Amino acid sequence: MVLNWRAVLAAIATASTLIEGASTIRVGNHEPGTFSYNRTTFLLNNEAYQIIGGQMDPQRIPHEYWAQRLQMAKSMGLNTIFSYLFWNDLEPTPGDWDFTDRNNVGHFFQLAHDAGLKIVLRPGPYVCAEHEWGGLPGWLNKIPGMAIRQNNEPFLAASKQYIDQLGDVLGKYQITRGGPIIMTQLENEYGSFGSDKDYLNRTANLLRDNFDVILYTNDGGGKSYLDGGSLHDVLAETDGDAQRGFAARDKYVTDPTMLGPQLDGEYYTTWLDVWGSNYTHRQMDAAALKKASSDLDWVLSGKNSFSLYMFHGGTNWAFDAGAIWDKEAAAVATTSYDYGAPLDESGRPSAAYEAFRTTIAKHVPAGSIPKVPAFPPLTTVPKFSFKSASGLFDFKGDSPTASTVYPVTMDSLDQIRGFILYEHTVTEDVEGVLAVGDQPRDRVLVYVNEVRVGVIDRIYKYPATVKVTLKEGDKLSLLIENMARIDAGQRMVEQIKGIVGNVTVGGGESLIGWETYSMPLTELPEGAAEGTDDYEVKDNQQPAFFRGSFELPQGVQNDMSGDTFLSLPNNYKGVVWVNNRLIGRYWAIGPQQSLYIPGVYLNAPGTANEVVLLELEPSTGTEIVGEGIAERKWFNSPDKNLSGK
């Protein structure tokens, strides 16, 4: 029987009733349960329970699609969802909590509960996840004496506020109160960072004050990782290669209070995508798929447990993407967090989905895995044109955010994300290589008298060298884009943005006298899209806003049937807003060449959808066009700004 996908989606949206065995009993009316373990087995209500899990982070998925994504997990044979929470999105400014839209994580857990799925909560406070600063809020940098991820009073005080808030909002979703949460993770791969047991113990106590389910740690399968990241009286688990990880725990963890059943807390489907001309899209080829299926079969045959990282990756919306410090350069995650996962960025199954479903089916009762629900195809949108609207610097404001002798950091201006513009009027002739702060923190667009003369980019170990010739009275402008705070490794400890230090030319004296303009761009500046029809774009001048619009074709709706991928074939680098919603970054160097636009972010046919681009490096005479495509494009292009080593 072929299911009508519109009927399926309507049912999912109301009660998730199409999932076999799904409970529609609300948490408050459900009988409390238990989740425990002995040396070899997890126990759900005193019965053996093998965790067949997958990672899915609600804040990376439109909330309107949560139930559909959960149903797809159930239909692949999963029984447990592992979810990170991103503190920085839940508390964007101190004490300002947001549990709405994609942050309404309690509703996600309720939907999982209705679907008959359990939840493993991974709240941090640090989570990594290739998310901006591993989920830590940028405003932590403003707190005196702050030192993250260690036995530091300011950090633990801020963490307590966060975890207490989670306890208030999410405590009722624990299995002990009739909900789906069966375990909570302590920190995240802490053994890859440090070994501060006082910090781990105090963080564990913060979690225990708010959650009464099992605590566990998750670390790499090696001695140093397990020695540093494990904690007395907390179940120790590993991630990565299951055979290596399980053997490492058996060998190196001897404290009986840390021992229990084996769980591969992150079995990697592939790996993340990062921006780069030479970094190709990660996906599972036939050999990788065969190996992964064999690995999962081995885990399940041994009555052990696993979680796929990722089952469904979703999207790094807006400026949410993080970066890994790799070989003295910032490997910045793309807007797409597809991760080569069984369920792709749009919520549709990849080749891995059916392969893993077949493997799982060998180890669960026959007929217990629901049928895969129908889903609509992606839609296409014919090419549409953009008109130049205005220049970015026209919206810097009538007066600077700060006027100082030396440059100030982004963080000192209470800015977390986006762009910041520094302007200096030259007081004496100078020429030579431009040095921006202690080192380039991100991507710096360099202008002299509003003409772009070069780009310095920290995604390279050796960023391009920019030489300038400045005459008295010239204006030097530095537009810095916060590409991402580093989320992994020791380099993540100090993640202040903007210019940190001073600016010199040719190794001379520091330039003094700066006007700084905060331009976070988390919201589209008022009037940026209107502009004038005669706004002229010129080569090597300021970034420009472009506006365009399209309508969904007849026969689809603003639901999954309206899902599409926005392709911008003639653009180079910038950000996109659709109907005033910041979608994320694009960059021609790839590997990502199209942006996922969920149908629920669009208007029904007959009503225009407004698209605004901020193109950072516009060119004279370039025709700016967009189109909606039904198949994502992945390829790489040269970085036109790269020079030097």
Average pLDDT over residues 573-589: 98
Residue 12 domain flag = no
Residues 337 and 469 in one domain: no
Q: Residue 250 carries which DSSP code?
A: H
Higher pLDDT, residue 25 or 426 = 426
Average pLDDT over residues 407-428: 97
Q: Between 5-15 and 66-76, two packed helices, what is the crossing angle to 10 degrees?
A: 100
64, 130, 132, 266: the catalytic one is 266
Label residue 99 exposed, middle or buried (CB < 10 Å: 0-12, 13-18, 19+): middle
- The CATH code of the domain that includes 569 is 2.60.120.260
pLDDT digits (tens, 9 = 90+) for 77-105: 999 999 999 999 999 999 999 999 999 99
End-of-domain residue from the set 444, 479, 512: 512
CA 132 to chain centre: 7
Active site residue 627: no
pLDDT at position 21: 33
Give 96's contacts (C-beta < 8 A, 6+ positions apart).
none
pLDDT at position 272: 95
Residue 94 sits at φ, ψ, to 5 deg, of: -55, 125
pLDDT at position 644: 42
Residue 22 domain flag = no
pLDDT digits (tens, 9 = 90+) for 370-405: 999 999 999 999 999 999 999 999 999 999 999 999
Residue 23 domain flag = no
Residues 338 and 438 in one domain: no
DSSP string, 545-594: EEEEEE-PPTT--SSGGG-EEEE-TT--EEEEEETTEEEEEEETTSSB-E
Residue 182 domain flag = yes
pLDDT band at 558; cut points 50, 70, 90: very high
Of 261, 328, 272, the C-alpha closest to 300 is: 261
pLDDT at position 642: 84
Q: Residue 370 carries which DSSP code?
A: P
Residues in the chain: 645
Of 352, 350, 319, the C-alpha closest to 334 is: 319
Active site residue 266: yes
Residue 24 has pLDDT above 50, yes or no: no
pLDDT band at 439; cut points 50, 70, 90: confident
Specify the pTM: 0.95
**Rounded CA separation 52/492 (Å):** 32
pLDDT band at 18; cut points 50, 70, 90: very low
Tokens found for residue 308: 């796929």
Residues 128 and 273 in one domain: yes
Residues 492 and 556 in one domain: no
Give how far Cα 10 sits from Cα of 23, 364, 431, Å.
17, 29, 65
**Rounded CA separation 336/598 (Å):** 13
Residue 20 has pLDDT above 50, yes or no: no
What amino acid is encoded at 369 in this protein?
I
- The CATH code of the domain that includes 90 is 3.20.20.80
pLDDT at position 643: 55
The mean predicted confidence, pLDDT, of the chain is 94
Residue 585 domain flag = yes
Alpha helices per DSSP H over 209-259: 223-229, 242-252
Give 578's contacts (C-beta < 8 A, 6+ positions apart).
566, 597, 601, 602, 609, 610, 611
Residue 344 domain flag = yes
Give how far Cα 146 sits from Cα of 61, 192, 498, Å.
32, 21, 19
pLDDT at position 17: 35
Residues 238 and 287 in one domain: yes
Neighbours of 14 (CB within 10 A): 10
pLDDT digits (tens, 9 = 90+) for 36-77: 999 999 999 999 999 999 999 999 999 999 999 999 999 999
Tokens found for residue 404: 């100082």
**Rounded CA separation 192/489 (Å):** 7
pLDDT band at 28; cut points 50, 70, 90: low
189, 237, 345, 515: the catalytic one is 189
Higher pLDDT, residue 613 or 11 = 613
Give 294's contacts (C-beta < 8 A, 6+ positions apart).
none
Give 494's contacts (C-beta < 8 A, 6+ positions apart).
none
**Rounded CA separation 250/23 (Å):** 38
Residues 291 and 152 in one domain: yes
Tokens found for residue 166: 């989670």
Average pLDDT over residues 159-174: 98
Average pLDDT over residues 416-441: 95
Residues 253 and 309 in one domain: yes
Residue 7 has pLDDT above 90, yes or no: no
Residues 220 and 322 in one domain: yes
Higher pLDDT, residue 377 or 25 = 377
Label residue 21 exposed, middle or buried (CB < 10 Å: 0-12, 13-18, 19+): exposed
Residues 136 and 245 in one domain: yes
**Rounded CA separation 97/86 (Å):** 12
Residue 567 domain flag = yes
Strand arrangement, sheet containing 323-325: 330-332, 323-325, 486-488
- 3-class SS at 90? helix
pLDDT at position 184: 98
426 with 473: CB under 8 angstroms?
A: yes
pLDDT digits (tens, 9 = 90+) for 307-361: 999 999 999 999 999 999 988 899 999 999 999 999 999 999 999 999 999 999 9
Range of the domain at 506: 406-512
pLDDT band at 645; cut points 50, 70, 90: very low
**Rounded CA separation 443/453 (Å):** 14
Count of domains observed in the chain: 3
pLDDT band at 30; cut points 50, 70, 90: confident
Average pLDDT over residues 429-438: 96
Q: Locate tokens 């397990």: which residue?
A: 226
Residue 208 has pLDDT above 50, yes or no: yes
pLDDT digits (tens, 9 = 90+) for 227-281: 999 999 999 999 999 999 999 999 999 999 999 999 999 999 999 999 999 999 9
pLDDT band at 530; cut points 50, 70, 90: confident
77 with 275: CB under 8 angstroms?
A: no
Of 576, 587, 571, the C-alpha closest to 622 is: 571
**Rounded CA separation 408/397 (Å):** 18
Residues 299 and 436 in one domain: no
Residue 16 domain flag = no
Higher pLDDT, residue 585 or 10 = 585
Residues 347 and 385 in one domain: no
- Could you give the percent of the chain with pLDDT greater than 70? 95
Average pLDDT over residues 527-535: 82
**Rounded CA separation 110/104 (Å):** 10
Label residue 288 exposed, middle or buried (CB < 10 Å: 0-12, 13-18, 19+): middle
Residues 293 and 416 in one domain: no
End-of-domain residue from the set 455, 488, 512: 512
